[in-house]
Amino acid sequence: MNVTEAVTTRRSVRQFLDKPVDLETIRRVMDKARWAASGCNYQPWEATILTGKPLAELQEKMKTTPPQQAEYDWTAPGQEEAYTKRLHGVSAGMFGAMGIARDDGQGRMAAMARNTTSFDAPVVMFTYFPRFMKEAQWSDTGMWLATVGLLLREEGLDSCYQEYMALYANVIREHIGIDHDRYMLFCGMAIGYRDPDAPVNNFEREREPLDDTVKFLGFD
Ligand SMILES: Cc1cc2nc3c(=O)[nH]c(=O)nc-3n(C[C@H](O)[C@H](O)[C@H](O)COP(=O)(O)O)c2cc1C
pLDDT in tens, the chain (220 residues): 999 999 999 999 999 999 999 999 999 999 999 999 999 999 999 999 999 999 999 999 999 999 999 999 999 999 999 999 999 999 999 999 999 998 999 999 999 999 999 999 999 999 999 999 999 999 999 999 999 999 999 999 999 999 999 999 999 999 999 999 999 999 999 999 999 999 999 999 999 999 999 999 999 8
CA distance 16 to 158: 8
Residue nearest to atom 21 of ligand 1 (CA): 90
Is 216 a domain residue?
Answer: no
With contact defined as beta carbons under 8 Å apart, do 143 and 149 qualify? no
Is 197 a domain residue?
Answer: yes
CA distance 60 to 71: 22
Give the pLDDT confidence score for residue 118 in this predicted structure: 98
Is 48 a domain residue?
Answer: yes
Give the pLDDT confidence score for residue 207 in this predicted structure: 97
Is 179 a domain residue?
Answer: yes
Q: How far is the CA of 160 from the centre of ligand 1 (A)?
A: 6
Return the ligand 1 atom nearest residue 11 CA: 26
Q: How far is the CA of 161 from the centre of ligand 1 (A)?
A: 5
- pTM tops 0.85: yes
Q: How far is the CA of 102 from the centre of ligand 1 (A)?
A: 20
Residue nearest to atom 7 of ligand 1 (CA): 162
Number of folded domains that form the chain: 1
Q: Is the CB of 13 under 6 A from ligand 1?
A: no
CA distance 2 to 154: 8
CA distance 74 to 200: 23
Q: How far is the CA of 212 from the centre of ligand 1 (A)?
A: 21
CA distance 45 to 141: 5
Sign of the alpha-carbon dihedral angle for 29, 31, 36, 38 = positive
Is 114 a domain residue?
Answer: yes
With contact defined as beta carbons under 8 Å apart, do 123 and 22 qualify? no
Q: What's the Rg (C-alpha) of the chain?
A: 18
Q: Is the CB of 116 under 6 A from ligand 1?
A: no
What's the length of the chain? 220
Residue nearest to atom 30 of ligand 1 (CA): 161
Give the pLDDT confidence score for residue 220 in this predicted structure: 87
CATH of the domain at 74: 3.40.109.10
Give the residue among 107, 121, 155, 110 at the shortest CA–CA distance from 16.
121
Is 75 a domain residue?
Answer: yes
Return the ligand 1 atom nearest residue 164 CA: 8
- Domain hosting 184: range is 3-203
Is 120 a domain residue?
Answer: yes
Is 142 a domain residue?
Answer: yes
Q: Is the CB of 108 under 6 A from ligand 1?
A: no
Give the residue among 134, 150, 149, 111 at the shortest CA–CA distance from 184.
134
